[in-house]
Structure 1
Amino acid sequence: MSGALSGKTALVTGGSRGIGRAISERLGRDGARVAVHYGRDETAAKETVAAIEGAGGQAFAVRSELGVPGDAEALWAAFDEQAEGLDALVNNAGINKAVDGTLKRIGEMTTEDFDRLFAVNTKAPFFIAQQGLNRLRDGGRIINISTGLTHGATKPELIAYAMSKGAVDVFTSTLAKDLGPRGITVNAVAPGAVDTDMNAGWLRDNSEARRMVSGISPLGRVAEPADVGDIVAFLASDDSRWVTGAWIDATGGALL
């Protein structure tokens, strides 16, 4: 398949579901060979790979549970078995809930909850990028998925999640300065509420919540995963060559 990313190789962490799947499929349509990373859901990863290949693209699955010792090493070992060199790294994988699967305000958070959020959302992308630098070709791209919550404190029950992504924002801008001499750009994309499986319980199946979220955006609707995937595709392409260190508001104007 020819396109803006023909001949390129991309790795998308958490690339099998939700926003990650939309990113993977879009990069595949643009011609990239996509490494679809997953932690546990092998079925979803295979479905995403099949969807990319069914559309004429190329993809393969990479398994590594994030937030555990050796996660970055395991990810790159699996990647190296199937590819040589990288052109775009998308740090998309993330969690927003405590260990017990609930959302917690500061008074309810445990050290285990806090450490888990930072291990997956902050530590993993840091070391995945660190260990990927010798694989990432000059002129490459690093795209980190942040959140609009780092610029708008609207969800007290997501305080630790927002903090973990705030660190990613700093990581983005500082790494952009560090890697500029290699022609590598580093940017962050910050979505708001998106209609994904992760949000299905409170958003997709709740008409009142959908009306509320739609009303926050001047565009008057809830974001779809492809809305974010298309922004990432731009940042992965040569068209974005003069954009680096940026925090891209992908909330549909919810912060206005």
Structure 2
Amino acid sequence: MDVRVQGRAPPAPFLGAQDRFETEYDVSLPVHVHVRSDPDERTWTGHYDDKHVLNISQQAATSAMARELALHEYAHMTRYEEEHPSHLQSTDEALFLGLAGNSVERRKVAHCYQIANHMKDIYADDITCSLGDSDKLVSFFEASLAAAVSDHGTPPRAGLTPVTADADPEITAVNAAFALALCERHDLVTDDHRLYDLAHAAGEDAPGVSVDSFKRHFLDLGDDPTESEYRKALVDVTREYALGGQQAAD
């Protein structure tokens, strides 16, 4: 891996993540880390013909989660380079297939994009969770979900695809399902972990959303789906959230 850090942040977390990542995985194209001054900049990666660009706020790049965020984004790069269906499938296409002919609120369409990001994150974090210590990830989920349940009006400033929520308790419940699914998928928590209580509270705030159902959607994602299988999974979860579970057709 060739990692180049550009911006006002120490390179150590990104180079340390590189060392850990390279013990089992690799990224062929150069990685350009762009540290942004905007504290509200979400951490995200752009993929280009000659490089990957990891965009991250200075606040996130200097936080205790910086190394874990870098590992997470390196995993996205690997999934993209190996042409995993989750990272090649057009979200716009899947939402068109799932929602065509229906009138859907703009907020719910925006939430469907977040759910699609969660599905990508499942596959990226299948890699990051295989690399070892996930305690910080679990703590991140717990703290951010607790903040969401107590105050839906306070979104996160930076980090992984948020499991805190915006003002809408319905997407908070789906985000809770994502956190539980990832933790159960990799045996990161015990049955009595506080995450379950927080997810239950999130579900109570959104009676129209089944936390258990969305958790199953995320848990049922196979390791190596075909393009058709992944598209159908994305269409199904889109329909359940936006249309109340109408049957998807591929």
TM-score normalised over the length of structure 2 = 0.33
Higher helix share: 2
**Larger fraction in strand:** 1
| Greater relative CO, 1 or 2 (CA 8 Å, sep 6+) | 1
TM-score normalised according to structure 1 size: 0.33
